[in-house]
Structure 1
Amino acid sequence: MTQKVPMTIAGAEKLREELLQLKTVARPQITAAIAEARAHGDLKENAEYHAAREQQSFTEGRIAEIEAKLAYAQIIDVTKLPPSDRVVFASTVLLTEEDSEEEKRYQIVGEDEADIKEGKISFSSPIARALIGKFVGDIVDVQTPGGLRTYEIVDVQYI
């Protein structure tokens, strides 16, 4: 049995939207492109046909992948958790880097949701693994590609 994969409500919704788009827009477009390419005759040398079939294969694979992820998703609504100073999956954490005193804000999310530009880090990232279970005021050492960094947890929000 495959284990449940944690995901935020927003992450699950984004996957559902992509799935709907693939099934209702992309799939019919590809089917139409294959039919049109078949109408041109000889399929062996028909580049449009082969490109459409390749796109169909990719799309069907992505649909299966999304359906599997949603089937095994453990969707976590952080707003339903009792307020706490503890860092958990889906919480938003405000950190201060000890050396530079630079503030960083991260939300700990599922692997498919991670986007560093949006301040969303995967729960399996080194920073998230070091933070989960810690509390406001704790000092955390994190081994990053740029070397060892020390952060203080300034705030934890369940938003």
Structure 2
Amino acid sequence: MNKIPLTVKGAELLRAELHQLKTVERPRVIEAIAEARSHGDLSENAEYDAAKERQGFIEGRIKEVEGKLSSAQIIDPKLLDADGRVVFGATVELEDLDSGESVTYQIVGDDEADLKSGKISISSPISRALIGKFAGDVAEVQAPGGVREYEVLDVKYI
């Protein structure tokens, strides 16, 4: 089975979600099913159908999160020693050479990616173009609007 890269923070978030699903959501849906069953005829009971559907979703998500955690390769960016090279977990400051705009991204796992908080997926085109680069290097990214060039200004492991 392939290892799924996760930062320490990403693994903590998945563990918290799993705990929430098992201790809060699962008992709540079991209670909703029992309540709907008490209303009698299940063949035309929309509440029962909705609760069973919700239970299926919760159980599926529990299995998915457990699978991800069991095959996770947890990487702490603070412990990386990549000699200034862009690697998974690194925080990279870039300058768009066309616009001169400066942006900062952390390269994280697919589940952790959130562009609004500056976290981009390891499988994104920009991450793939940046991996292995050093400060001062220029990365060419194939974007939907054409090729964009970014200069790596700084690489941090925080």
TM superposition score normalised by structure 2: 0.98
Letter in 1 for 2:105: Y
Give runs of ≥4 in structure 1 deviating > 6 Å: none
Deviation at 1:79, TM superposition (A): 0.6
Q: Tell me the residue number matched to 1:142.
A: 141
Distance in 2 between the 1:145 and 1:105 partners?
Answer: 20
Distance in 2 between the 1:146 and 1:57 partners?
Answer: 41
Deviation at 1:78, TM superposition (A): 1.1
Local SS of the residue matching 1:94: strand
Task: Give ranges in structure 1 of 5+ residues lacking alignment.
Answer: none
Q: What is the aligned residue count?
A: 158
Task: Give ranges in structure 2 of 5+ residues lacking alignment.
Answer: none
Are 2:53 and 1:54 equivalent residues in the alignment? yes
Matches within 5 A, 1:48-127: 48-82=47-81, 84-127=83-126
**Aligned CA-pair RMSD:** 0.8
Distance in 2 between the 1:47 and 1:149 partners?
Answer: 52
Q: Tell me the residue number matched to 1:29.
A: 28
Deviation at 1:84, TM superposition (A): 2.4
Local SS of the residue matching 1:25: helix
TM superposition score normalised by structure 1: 0.97
Deviation at 1:146, TM superposition (A): 2.2
